[in-house]
Structure 1
Amino acid sequence: MLVLGLSGNFSARDSDLVPLLPDQLFHDSAACLVRDGEVIAAVEEERFNRIKKTTKFPVNAIRACLDVAGVTVDQLDGVAYYFREDFVDTTLNFFYTVHPKVPTVYCRQLIKQWFAEEFDWDLGDDKLVFTPHHDAHAIAAVARSGMPESLVLVLDGRGEENSGTVYRSGGGRLEKLADYPVFKSLGMLYLNATQLLGYGFGDEYKVMGLAPYGDPATFREAVSSLYLLGDKGEYDLLPNMTVPDLVGPSMLARGITPRRKGEPFTQQHKDFAAATQEALEKIVLHVLTHWAESTGLSRLCFGGGVAHNSTLNGDILRSGLFREVFVHPASHDAGASEGAAFLAADQLGGAARPVRRSRTASSGPALGTEAEVRDRLGAWGAVLDFERHEDIVPVAAGLLADGAVLGWAQGRSEFGPRALGNRSIIADARPAENQTRINAMVKQRESYRPFAPVVTAEAAADYFDLPATEANYDFMSYVVPVREERRPELGAVTHIDGTARVQVVDPAANERFHRLVAAFGERTGTPVLLNTSFNNNAEPIVQTIDDVVACYLTTDLDYLVVEDFLVRRRSADPSADLDTLVPRLRPVTRLARRLGTGAVAAGPAWHEISLDYAGAPVARMSEELFTLLGVVDGVRTVGELAKEAGIVPDAVRAELYELWQQRYLTLTPA
């Protein structure tokens, strides 16, 4: 049986379903294709439309999954969605009421319209299945875990009526044991705290990274006033979470002032982050302690967005409550597309799922055959030099040992937010200055945020204090202590509290990446590399060769490795070579001429470029560049457009390069 699972909302490529649709609404668009209980392909829409955490309908992800499997839509036995139909329609109704000019079309018809328009396929009602959200999270984790029976915990911002659910899994079925309603949402509690610290939806992981810089004792009493632990794994959040912001008013009353976006972090902010993280851990362990003891189950599957809190996950391991723990590599809502597909297959009469542990998250599309990779790199020949090596691993290991920072792109992309060796930026994990260096050359992110290590399975216990509880360290899901004697050796990946979010790699999980880390260890004596996602701060993780090259050319990475090819820039100044490239505006790119206002007459005009989605950036630009972008046609090069517009390319080249860095537009070979 072949079933396609979906997550995300129903917005078009270039517009929202309704104006200013919140990015929290049906987020993390993705598609997952399941055949006879096995994941064939899974990928997030953001990898294609290049919008972080996009909510738009996953049409590109669907097409990619079908291409990976070599099938067409008419071969599908079912299509599954990751929420119940009544919940989705009720939510849409609210926005239709607020925006009466928007046509009132509900989710079943919206999904069917997408398949009709994009794939010329009449999706029958008997093949379209809507699934309970937390059930989808739960079964996704169970299916990948290989556990014959387990306790299952799902925690997120909200499902339909709940924000947490506990299950018993066994015999291929889920038995619901408890629900925690939306007004007890730990995901929303943490989001409210995240917003108080000047961040937004999807930035919770930054607060987790900030927490070790603070002292939780400073605001322990204040944050503890927000919750009350009860009997039998129960808890309450006070005041009731039906209040839109639980944290802000309570903390303001206790002298904890909010941070505005862009302001520096004070010690007060760090202490508040620490107290928030501590509270989350305390509540979750309270819940798990009861259910572990009352059920006697010794294994745990953990899913939902809260399961991406790797510090919490490390605490669960160290608690000793379980013999084994499994966390889904895409435990956020994208992973629920996978669970929805499994649930629909069950409902439609599919075969039982095999009980088998998943060792890889690399279920996205590949970069291509050797010939395809060579041809596409060759198209960039005006700005790149490249050469193929019979075995790229020793070449890359030597460059890393000499201090280079590499972009590393191999095989199929990873499903989920972690780069695990197929779309990675890698460097020597030893020099502490590499953290600052990589932040400056690529990430441009907050200096406090740690980078993660990848270590060979053979050396993992020598470098990290791994708890006795068995866990899937393949997916960077757990923060564990770095052994004290190894901390000076791992300066670039050891966090301020002596911990690291570790990835353990072996040949079964990723043969080439394991060989690379091992080869680096043979040269340096340290079989550990710094591994971070291959993207800059303006984009999601790279997917295609064009994405890979664009990120390389708009950062200061030293080298690029694509499959067996070593790639170098031709020029030390990439902006000097833009004339040969073709600019294209993205579907969400908007150009505007703004007129200033004055007391008597209009003020001076300015020119703007923006991206049209929630939370997107806006930038000003010169009149010359505005004129050039106004005649972009996706065919002519920068040099040709500048000539037609009567602009000297030198006048706009640096400005255009900066807009490319921030992904307002794309530049590709002619």
Structure 2
Amino acid sequence: MIVVGISALYHDSACAVLIDGRLAAAAQEERFTRRRYDASMPAHAFRACLRQAGIGIADIDRVAYYEDPVARLGRQLWNGLPELPQSSPETLFRLDADRPFREIRELLGYSGEVVPVTHHESHAASAFYFSGFAESALLTADAVGEWTTTSYGRAGPDGIELFEEVAFPDSLGLFYSALTSYLGFEVNSDEYKVMGLAPYGEGTCAETLRTLVADLPGGQFRLDPEYFDFRRPDRMYTDALADLLPVAPRRPDDEIETVHQDLARSLQIVLEEILLAKARHLHERTGSENLSYAGGVALNCVANTRLRRDGPFRDLFVQPAAGDAGGCVGAAALVHHRLTGTYVRERMTDARLGPAYPADEVRAGLDIAGVPYLAFAGDETGLLDTAAELLAGGEIIGWFQGRMEFGPRSLGARSILADPRDSRMRDRINALVKKRESFRPFAPAVAADRCPEFFAWTGPAPFMLDTARVLDPAALPAISHVDGSARLQTVDAAVDPRFHGLLTAFGKRTGYPILLNTSFNVRGEPIVCTPADALAAFVRCGLDALVLGDLLVRARDLPDGWDRLVGLIPASPPRERTTVYSFV
């Protein structure tokens, strides 16, 4: 049984292929088109996933779509439209419940049956079917699906059941996004920046923010409509919110002040409180010791750690592609289970589900381009020792290996790596390489077998979805946040032997089998997909070296004029900055 899952036409489109219940391939459209958060029907990702899975269109038994377009249209119409003369053709085009099915036929070339699954069923399924649990409680939280913003349920051998929901406009995701916009950041993009800013502040505004969200019995909560307006074209809050808070809305280029840090910290506190209260309700309702969790809010790793530490569940699994992209995975898994009555009960441990590129093609491309390299085919030890030596010497490396990761994190397949012991490294990468805000922390990747020596953490954390206390922050300043925490990735030798080998080789030289690991991209662009993407980003980022599979390219060896040549390659088209969610 082959089921293809599709998420599309809102934001972060993606495709997934399940073969007999096993996830064979998954990828986001933005990686191929180089348009960040690309919402279009994922034609490029579809073709790449079929190719990676070794199948053709004729082999597909069903396509699963990640939401109910008719129910979504009802919410779009209820929410209201801009004045029709001002509505773009694209806006009106979105008000078409048949569009997903038509584009699957016309753009993907699939003429078979397409099965829609509701948005929060897709989220819940994306977590449960890859959790390894025999049974589980289900929690989903995001901005909005068709109408649902938060759902509660249970799952087991008979499938998933969502028995309670919170409906739009009451939404934890929109609550967090509205304050993200108020703080001068972009919605549906920069919420993680607010999470990173929060540890710099104090919870001085928490009591005020609690008045914005009423914690109601059961799984319910309500946003105070006096302070939020999700129909405005320019912002998601009213003037009353500005009157209530101790600071006016921050403009994007304004300096970040203490009061902004305090507001971010207070927002994080209130989010965690509500999530904990609702998790306790869910536990009482289901009696399960396991929780499967997904939706955009589930990418808040600080809140995840709080749920894991202070919540009522013994075990927690968060889908690594917890946002809308992961909906394609859940839709496919749920449709497979409904059609066959079976599912594979294995915990997901590896998110490298995208395309890989043959070594001979990579080598031939470098030869044609006249790029010199060191070749280590058949010499794994030599490659890892050379890369570890460069890293220990303070060089920053682009690391491109095997299949691309699925989801928002780089996990050692499309990564930028550096020495976590160097106190200057964080500022250097922020200012010169990533060109991003200085307050944002970097994550560590650590050899799983030695993790407890350096972090207050036991067990696996393969997807950077939790934070852990750094035992000696002074020794690891480049990956330790201001509160002494780090967004942790553990690397298992059985899952990713090459990346684990690099960490081990670095550890032999330094005593620390840990590397700073950040996404391989220039600010504003998607993570690199192809070797050509990696080579261009390598030059644009000003990295010292690039490892492409078994080949190592050093910046100092590039021919004269290569920086100018790469400058001729079009960069990713700029994405229009948004201060409001698009509900159309």
Q: Same fold (TM over 0.5)?
A: yes
* Structure 1 counterpart of 2:56, one-letter code: T
In 1, distance between residues paired with 2:285 and 2:546? Answer: 53
Q: Deviations over 1:313-346 (max 9, x none)?
A: 1111110522111111100000001111122223
In 2, distance between residues paired with 1:510 and 1:269? Answer: 40
Residue 138 (structure 2) pairs with residue 152 (structure 1)? yes
With 40-49 and 561-570 compared, the bigger mean Cα shift is at 561-570
Residue 577 (structure 2) pairs with residue 615 (structure 1)? yes
Superposed, which structure 2 residues align to 1:183-198 within 5 Å?
A: 183-198=169-184
In 1, distance between residues paired with 2:216 and 2:557? Answer: 64
Name the counterpart of 1:280: 271
* Structure 1 counterpart of 2:124, one-letter code: A
Name the counterpart of 2:384: 393
Cα offset, 1:219, TM superposition: 1.0
Does the 8 Å contact 1:239/1:246 carry over to 2? no
Name the counterpart of 2:194: 207
Cα offset, 1:430, TM superposition: 1.0
Name the counterpart of 2:54: 70
Residue 343 (structure 2) pairs with residue 359 (structure 1)? no
SS of equivalent to 2:415 = strand
Name the counterpart of 1:58: 42
Q: Taking structure 1 as reference, are residues 568 and 29 closer, same or farther at Cα in structure 2, changes over 3 Å only?
A: same
Question: What 5-or-longer segments of structure 1 have no aligned partner?
Answer: 10-25, 590-610, 617-670
In 1, distance between residues paired with 2:89 and 2:517? Answer: 48
Name the counterpart of 1:474: 462
In 2, distance between residues paired with 1:319 and 1:75? Answer: 46
Normalising by structure 1, we get a TM-score of 0.80
Q: Taking structure 1 as reference, are residues 76 and 579 closer, same or farther at Cα in structure 2, changes over 3 Å only?
A: same
Name the counterpart of 1:261: 252
SS of equivalent to 1:488 = helix
Q: When the two structures are aligned, how many residues end up with a matched partner? A: 564
Cα offset, 1:171, TM superposition: 1.2
Name the counterpart of 2:205: 219
Cα offset, 1:92, TM superposition: 7.0
Residue 335 (structure 2) pairs with residue 373 (structure 1)? no
Q: Taking structure 1 as reference, are residues 284 and 320 closer, same or farther at Cα in structure 2, changes over 3 Å only?
A: closer
Name the counterpart of 1:350: 340
SS of equivalent to 2:309 = helix
Q: Deviations over 1:243-275 (max 9, x none)?
A: 323576324333321110111101010000000
> Of 300, 313, 317, which residue of structure 1 is paired with 2:304?
313
* Structure 2 counterpart of 1:478, one-letter code: D
Cα offset, 1:503, TM superposition: 0.5
Q: Taking structure 1 as reference, are residues 423 and 100 closer, same or farther at Cα in structure 2, changes over 3 Å only?
A: closer
With 205-214 and 372-381 compared, the bigger mean Cα shift is at 372-381
> Of 34, 38, 41, which residue of structure 1 is paired with 2:22?
38
Cα offset, 1:38, TM superposition: 0.9
Q: Deviations over 1:35-72 (max 9, x none)?
A: 11111100000101111111122110111111111222
Name the counterpart of 1:439: 430
Q: Taking structure 1 as reference, are residues 491 and 84 closer, same or farther at Cα in structure 2, changes over 3 Å only?
A: same
* Structure 1 counterpart of 2:310, one-letter code: S
With 403-412 and 83-92 compared, the bigger mean Cα shift is at 83-92
Residue 322 (structure 2) pairs with residue 331 (structure 1)? yes
Cα offset, 1:6, TM superposition: 0.9
Residue 551 (structure 2) pairs with residue 554 (structure 1)? no
Q: Taking structure 1 as reference, are residues 434 and 353 closer, same or farther at Cα in structure 2, changes over 3 Å only?
A: same
SS of equivalent to 2:534 = helix
Does the 8 Å contact 1:474/1:509 carry over to 2? no
Question: What 5-or-longer segments of structure 2 have no aligned partner?
Answer: 231-235, 579-584
With CA pairs under 8 Å and 6+ residues apart, which has the higher RCO, 1 or 2?
2
Does the 8 Å contact 1:42/1:65 carry over to 2? yes
Cα offset, 1:386, TM superposition: 4.1
* Structure 1 counterpart of 2:15, one-letter code: A
Name the counterpart of 2:452: 461
Cα offset, 1:385, TM superposition: 3.7
Question: Which of 1 and 2 has greater Rg?
Answer: 1
Name the counterpart of 2:582: none
Name the counterpart of 2:118: 132
